[in-house]
Amino acid sequence: MKKLTSAPLDESHTTIAVQRYLDQLAGVPGDAPAEPVVRALLTRAVDRLYLHCSSLLHRQYPRLTRGPLNLSADEMLGAVVERLLKAMRSVRPQNVRQFFALANQHMRWELNGLARRLDERTPAVALPDSAVAAGHDLGETRNSAAVGPAVARIVAAIDALPADEREALDLVRFQGMAHGEAAAVLGVSAKTIQRRLNRATLLLSETLGDLRPHEGRA
């Protein structure tokens, strides 16, 4: 794969720039090569994609960063870019919201596939003091024998959130967007973003509350 050169990260202009490339992509005839435009789009968005890869990997799949995989955010980003290059040969997002939703989908598919293959080849063993982040301010599990099932529950709980809440959580908590930028992407107010985040946190807390460490335990 040809290495993408990162453009400087400018949060205030990323959304506008990505939309400009998507508009350009929409104007490419069906029989014309679209990859140059897609590659330019991914180059412009690569810093945002990297932040999302890193956040998703370390928050929800920390065991993949350890042996035997030792997966890094850079390696994950490379795989996701390859996925997006292939996917966007036939799928052409019309706006920034659809583009990041597509990217998020492929990130999750990539990580889920790696986790599944790791589970198939690795026997269940106790990992001392393992921890799995459970959303935002949900604490960490210290039940090391349940690391695999815990990750599966966290991912399932996030996927089961109402669409609006899940989208706000993905953009702000995992992609690192400011509330104002996420609001611009979704076409709502910053206060609406905050309300959706609050509701997502509440729902995740209700579903995953037993993963919190018990206060007072050593």
Which two three-digit tokens encode residue 59? 């928050």
Residue 29, φ and ψ in degrees, nearest 5: -60, 150
pLDDT in tens, 45-56: 998 899 889 988
pLDDT at 122 over 60: no
Give the global pTM. 0.60
Q: What are the sequence ranges of the domains in the chain? A: 11-211
Q: For residues 15 and 45, what is the distance between their CA atoms, to the nearest angstrom?
A: 9
Provide the pLDDT confidence category of residue 115 given band limits of 50, 70 and 90: confident
- Each residue of 31-54: b (16+ CB within 10 Å) or e? eeebeebbbbbbbbbbbbbbbbbb
Provide the pLDDT confidence category of residue 212 given band limits of 50, 70 and 90: low
Q: Which residue has the higher pLDDT, 24 or 5?
A: 24
Q: Residue 5's pLDDT is what? A: 45
Provide the pLDDT confidence category of residue 121 given band limits of 50, 70 and 90: low
Asked if the peptide bond before residue 123 counts as cis, ω within 30 degrees of 0, the response is: no
The amino acid at 12: S
